[in-house]
Amino acid sequence: MVTVKIHNVVANEDHKWWYCWDGTEGVFSLEFVQKLLADNPDETDFKFDIHCPGGEVAEGLAIYDCLRTSGKNIHMNIEGDCHSMAVTLLLAAPAKNRSANPNCSALIHKVYGCAYAGTADDLEKAAEETRTLQNKILNIYAERTNKSLEELQEIMNEEKIRTAEELLEWGFISRINSYNTNFKTNSNMAKVKNLKQAATDLLSRINAFLNQEEQATNFEHTDEDGTVLFTTESEDDTLEVGMAASPDGTFTLPDGRTVTIADGAISEIKEPEAEEDDETNLSEEVERLKAENAQLRSMLEEATNLIEDFKKETRSNFKPKGRTNSTKEAPTPTREERKAGIKEKIKNAKK
């Protein structure tokens, strides 16, 4: 599996210079994805870890289409942020291959366009193009999640940061990753190894016990001399009325049962008449079942003890030291501040 980081802004390679103004190193582009696939022609699985602020809609849609038509197994995982166009890239993977870390965040919002000058017709054209791009994204959301277009439009209009739980509920991801660290580090490794071996041995014994009587008769039912009387379409010597069997006729089995076959199926199974030793046989069967029950209880108790031992050896004993957490968060720029920043970059670029 090839693992790739989507940590840069989604943008065309020709626009890389623009995003370098704020210290960004490179962009995540269609050109990069195409080269990645070309450099790994024999690789079938590609995993993308997302921590991305979003980016250009047209470029993101092109990357989405590239991944969806690549013939590869695509996996997407949100490491941190999955904002804006990155949400669409997330959906390039099938639902079962989409995951997220517990503390991730996703921003779903309406498409932003730029139109600073021009006639009313120019502005209307720009607005229509923006709506077209937004509808494309909404259609992808609806196709790849559990939400309708109307519900997704409402979510998009709210322009809120979404949690991993919300993404899971709405079908943007199929699972939230579990933590696999902070386990007990001073375990006796030899003891753990012995526990694993004991568990393996127990499973082998249970399997042997459960299968000790599975002896297939090859569908052939014979008399006491071994002569085949009839055959059934079954994996064992089970007989049931209605079961397919051949040939037609009435046959007496060694255990005394009489089986009647008509039109290729068992029509009647007649039990043998009671014999004097039936009570003895029943008593022996009861004793056999008691012995099996005791054996199963013993293995169940052994399995329970093994599980408890495993839990003791993997339970965390980590205790964090006292620390002070800051509750301050960096202020989120308003839409007007973002527009002002873009205008300032354009102004500086023309100088």
Maximum separation of any 2 CA atoms in the chain, in Å: 112
* 75 classed as catalytic: no
CB 113 within 8 A of CB 129: yes
CB 63 within 8 A of CB 89: yes
- The DSSP secondary-structure symbol of 212 reads T
Residue 312: CB atoms within 10 Å: 12
Q: Pick the catalytic residue from 29, 51, 84, 99.
A: 84
227 CB burial (10 A radius; 0-12, 13-18, 19+): exposed
Computed from CA positions of residues 321, 327, 328, 330, in that sequence, does the dihedral angle turn out positive or negative?
positive
Give the integer Cα–Cα distance in Å for 115 and 339: 11
Give the integer Cα–Cα distance in Å for 43 and 271: 63
What CA–CA distances, in Å, run from 258 to 64, 180, 254, 269, 340? 68, 61, 9, 6, 94
* Strands 220-222, 228-232: pairing kind: antiparallel
Q: Pick the catalytic residue from 51, 75, 83, 109.
A: 109
Residue closest to 76 by CA, chosen among 25, 28, 24, 142: 28
> CA neighbours within 13 Å on the CB side: how many for 60?
27
Looking at residue 325, its amino acid is N
Q: Indicate the length of the chain as a whole number.
A: 351
Token couple for 233: 């379409």
Token couple for 168: 């899971």
* Strands 228-232, 249-252: pairing kind: unpaired
Q: Among all residues, which ones are annotated catalytic?
A: 84, 109
